Each structure stands twice: as C-alpha cells, then as structure tokens.
Structure 1
Amino acid sequence: MILSEKITEERKKNGWSQEELAEKLSVSRQAVSKWESAQSTPDLQKIIRLAELFEVSTDYLLRDEIISEQYMVKPEYKEEKASIHSVSMEEANAFLNWKRKRAPMMAGAVALCILSPVLLIFLAGLSDSHIWGLSENMACGVGLTVLMLMVAGAVFIFISGGLQGKTYEYLETEQIETAYGVSGLVKEKKKEYESVYLKGIAIGVVLCILAVIPLFMVMAMEAPDYIVTASVSVLLMLVAAGVYLIIHVSTVRGGYDMLLQEGDYSLKEKKYKEKINIFSTVYWCTATAIYLGWSFWTQRWDFTWLVWPVAGVMFGAVSAVAKILVKDER
C-alpha cells in the first residue's frame, strides 16, 4: 500500500471521519482529503504526528518508498543526483491529467490525416461514373479543399499540443526523481489502466486488419467503380478508427511510463532519445511526402493508401537499426 491508502485505512480503523482527523492535526478537512486521494502528501511533521495518532511507526507509513532503490543513492552518485529533476505529487497529477486530455486530441489529429482524402476518393468515384452530374473538376476541387482543411486542422493540433507540452518536455529526455508517494500512486494507476490499454490496442489492431474486407468484397462481386472507391473510403474510416484507439490508449499509458521511467522512457532509452526523435520526424515527414506526391501524380488514391501500413511495418525495423547505430556511435 502507498501512504494515501495507509492514512485512509488507519483513520477508518480508529473510527474517525476526515473532519475529526483534520482537527487532531490542526489542518483542514480538504488537506486530509487530498492526502487520501494522493493529490498531495503531508510534510514530515505531519507524518510524525500521524504515526503518533495511529500508534504506528513512521517506518510503516513510509516503508514503500524507503525500500525503493530509486531513493538509495550511492555516495559516488551524489553529484549526479543533485542535477536530477524532482517531480512533486502535484506536478505528477497535473501531468497525468494533461496526458488524459491530450490523448484524444493527438489521436484525433492522426485520424484526421488518414480521413482527409476520404471525400476526394468518394467524389472522384462518383464523377468517373457520371452520377449526380458531378464533374471531375468539381469533385477534385471540393475533395481537395476538404483534404487541405482537415490536414491543416491536424497540423494545428500537433503544433498547439507541442507548445503546451513544453512544460513536461524534460520527462522524455532527462532523468527524474519522483517525490514521496508518486511512484506508488503511478504504479497503481498504471495497473488499473492496463486492461483498458490492452483492450484498446486489440480492438484498434483488429479494426485495421478488418478494414480491407469491404474492398475485397466489392472487388469479388465485380461491383461498379464508384462502389469500389466508396469501399476505399470505408477502409480509410475503419483504419482511422483503429489508429485513433491505438494512439489514444498508448498516449495515456506513455504518461505512466514517463513518470516511472519504464519502457521507451527508461534511463537507457533517454540517452539517445533525442537523436531517435529527429529520425522519427524525418521518417514520417518523408512517408507523408511520398504518399501525397504519389497520390497527386497518379490520382490512384484507392491504391496509394498502402504507403501507410507499409511505412508502419517498416518503422519498427528501421527504428531498431537506428537505435543500434546511435548506440555504436556513443
């Protein structure tokens, strides 16, 4: 158990309300409520007083952090430890709340990029089949206008989110030390979120795989061209939905990993993360340029979408090679 849970448990054992405990400690009820919900932590004097009231040792209240290797710093690392960025309970909660709000926006921006050519593809199919008297120029004009507006909206979200996230940029690149109670709190929240994460990843991947079924079905039935292009639009919508889920849950889970310095945000990974980030930016900008260039040149929007699944599969392999090269360079 973490401190917040121990305070709640001991208070209830003694049959005290939050108001009664607050009165004994000469603090407000809101302060006790924040301690028990892990929004803040009591100072050392209050911990000593809590131990006296509960008739337990301070070691019992602090044990989960005392045995943590995170706080067992060897003498030769004292100078290095002094430069480590400290993260308070309030800062950690603010960051996690920001990540939860940011996740749907980031996922939505990526989905907008995937959905941007949907109307263009659909209208192009209608104009080719001379349905609704839609001319090719009108279909192209309307479709491209919507495409550019959606891409512009996605870019705005990316840029604004990046500017807002400058406050927490150090969590991705610097070594951090969390204040008392933060590590335990984040581990509990990550554990609670694990089922949501796994379900989101599973559904997202399944949607991306099943997205091609409508296209295969209409091709097998030898449907008219406008039905084929419409099925491509459906394909992109299903892929967008799957990618939205994957990015949404991954963004939230990434916040927990940042504070715990696990996975892609471990100390080892942070040493060369800056170079890898530059590589990722160049890679996806290149993939986007290839997709748009190929699509506009050939006008085969029903085929050029293959750039994205191929780029996604290759990204894992190319990233691994890039990491090896960066490690060798170091």
Structure 2
Amino acid sequence: MSLGQNLQFYRKRKNITQEQLAEQLCVSRQTISKWEADASYPEMEKILQLCEMFGCSMDTLLRGEAKEDLAEDTAGYDSHMNCFSKRIVIGIELIILGAASGILADSFYAPAYISDLVTFSFVIAGALVLVATGLQHKRFAEKYPKIQPFYKKEEIERFEEKFPVFITGGIGVILAGVVVSALSEQFPEAKGYTKEIYNAVLLLFIAVGTGLLVYAGMQKSKFNIKEYNEENKPKSSQKERLQGMWCGCIMIFATILFLIGGFIFGKWEICWICYPIGALFCGIASIIINGIYKEEP
C-alpha cells in the first residue's frame, strides 16, 4: 500500500474527516487530500506527527500494509494451529514408539504377550490422539472457515529462518539412527539384552526426526492462511466424498496390515512402515482426484 492509502485507512479507522485531520496538523484540507491521492508527500515533521497520532511506525505508514499491521487473530487461529501441530506430532510419535517399545521388550527377553500389549497400547493411544485432534480441527474449520491474514512479515521471516534448522535437524536425527543401526553388528552384545535393542534405538531416532519434520511442515503451513481459506471453501461434494473414501480405505487397509504383520507374524519392527506408505498413497489418490475434478475458473 502507498502512503496515501495507508493514511486514508488510518484516518477512517480513527473516524475523523480530512478537515479534522488537517486542523490537528495545522495544514489545509486540500493538503490532506493530495497526500491521500499520492499527489504530494508530507514533510518529515508531519510524518512523525502522523506516526504518533496513529500509533504506527514510519516504515508502515510510508510503504507498509496498514490493514495487515492492525489485523488481529480474533479466532484464536495461531493458538489452535500450534496445538494442532503438537498433537499430530504426538500421535505419530506414539505409533512409532509403539513399535520401538515392543522391540525393546523383546530385546530384554520379555514374554511375547507383554511386548504385544505394550505395542498395542502405544498404537491405540496414538490413533486416538490423531482422531481426536482431527475432529477438533474439523470443528474449528467449520466454525472459522475464513481467517483474515494477520501475521506480520517479520513473524513469517523469523520462522523462515528457523525452518531449515528443523528440516536439517530432523533428517540428521534419522540419519544418526540409521548409522547406529548399521554399526550395531560391530557393537558388543551386553549381558541382559539382545542386539534387537538397536532396532528399537533406530525407531526412537526415527520418532524424534519424524516429529521435527512433521512439526516444521505443519508450522510452515500455519502461516499460509490463504491455503487454509482455500481448503475450507465449499467444494464439490462428489470430489470431497471420493477423497475421504479413498484415504479412509487406504489408512484402514494400512492399519489391518500393521496388526496382521505384528500379531500374526511378529514383525512389529518393520510394520510401522505401513502408515507412511499409506499416507503416500493418500496423497497420490488426492492428486489424481483433484486432476479429475478440476475446479471451474
């Protein structure tokens, strides 16, 4: 926005006329009119007076976005999205930790039913957290389908500086776990547990790394309010039903494979892969459906 547009916005927000503003600044009404039309610009002294009068910075008045600078998070969007991100991470990590805990119990020669019970407890807890979080987010989106942008440029830039740290940190933690697992054959086998414990250590690293990656991605998405508003626009009911149906079927099938592989074949250490693969197929299905049901321009 230009100085004239910002000045006009601040003046109307204060509910004062050009004549009243001119009187306070000791200038003519025509001068205010020219400033708002960007036909002329005020002197530095008048700019400082305007900034003090409207409670804004000089940078915002001269070349910023006055509307965005004064926008407020009336819906509690930021707080909701922060909580949403953390709970999704917790749900995913509980599921991965379920597999890790089962392997850990096996490595200490615990009875099979104990390791299965521990694993199943973590998986159920994680699934319940994800379901509850999804329902809460859906309720929030239904209540606030459109959010007015309120994040300041400085806030977005601060996060953009941290984002690469989250991504590289997450990848680094996962790679560290892979290295530990790869070198585990060379580690001495301590008394009281088997070398299967290193598979549990790998999953612990994966849980932490995945948590960092998911949290970073969801926080980045949080700042994209335009995308949030687009997602909550009324959509084609057929398209929405197809996406929900296919993603639901894929994740149910992934859960069935996870339980069969764990309880019947005892492969808890690798069955967790069903969920990321299921999520990948959900993404592919959504892309295909979006391509078939393109929105009208």
User: Could you tell me which amino acid in structure 1 is paired with residue 196 of structure 2?
Assistant: T
Q: What is the correspondence of 1:168-247 to structure 2 with a 5 Å cutoff? A: 168-170=140-142, 176=146, 178=148, 182-183=149-150, 185=151, 187-219=153-185, 226-247=193-214
Q: Distance in 2 between matches of 1:203 and 1:261?
A: 26
Structure 2 residue corresponding to 1:282, chosen from 245, 249, 256: 249
- In the alignment, which of 132, 136, 140 is matched to residue 160 of structure 1? 132
Moved more, 96-105 or 200-209: 200-209
1:146 equivalenced with 2:128 (yes/no): no
Stretches of structure 2 lacking an aligned partner (at least 5 in a row)? 38-59
Say yes or no: does 1:46 pair with 2:46.
Answer: no
Paired-residue identity, %:
18
* Letter matched to residue 14 of structure 2: K
1:109 matched to 2:91: yes
Match of 1:90 in 2: 73
Larger Rg: 2
Q: Check the 8 A contact 2:93/2:211 in 1, yes or no.
A: yes
Q: Which residue of 2 aligns with 1:255?
A: 222
SS in 2 for 1:228: coil
CA distance in 2, matches of 1:238, 1:67: 44
**Worse overlay, 268-277 or 151-160:** 268-277
Tell me the CA shift for residue 112 of structure 1.
0.4
Partner in structure 2 of residue 18 of structure 1: none
Cα deviation, residue 298, structure 1: 0.9
Question: What's the offset of the Cα at 1:63?
Answer: 7.7
| Distance change >3 Å, CA 114–CA 162, structure 1 → 2 | same
Instruction: Give the match for residue 124 of structure 1.
Output: 106
5+ residue gaps, structure 1, are 8-40, 69-87, 128-133
Q: CA deviation at 1:96?
A: 0.9
- Contact preservation (8 Å) 2:99, 2:269: no
Q: What is the TM-score when the length of structure 2 is the normalising length?
A: 0.66
Residue 75 of structure 1 corresponds to none
Local SS of the residue matching 2:183? helix
Give the letter for the 1:154 counterpart: G
Partners of 1:45 and 1:166 in 2: CA distance: 34
The offset of 1:67, in angstroms, is 11
Deviations 1:58-91 (A, max 9, x none): 67859866999xxxxxxxxxxxxxxxxxxx7333
Q: Give me the TM-score of the superposition, normalised by structure 1.
A: 0.60
- Comparing 49-58 with 154-163, which one deviates more in the overlay? 49-58
Encode CA deviations 1:89-136: one digit per residue, 9 max, x unaligned.
Answer: 3335x1112211332222111100110122221222332xxxxxx5xx
- For these two proteins, the number of residue pairs brought into alignment is 256
Q: 1:298 corresponds to which residue?
A: 265
Q: Deviations over 1:6-50 (max 9, x none)?
A: 89xxxxxxxxxxxxxxxxxxxxxxxxxxxxxxxxx9894416479
2:54 matched residue in structure 1? none
Change (3 A) 1:62 1:97: farther
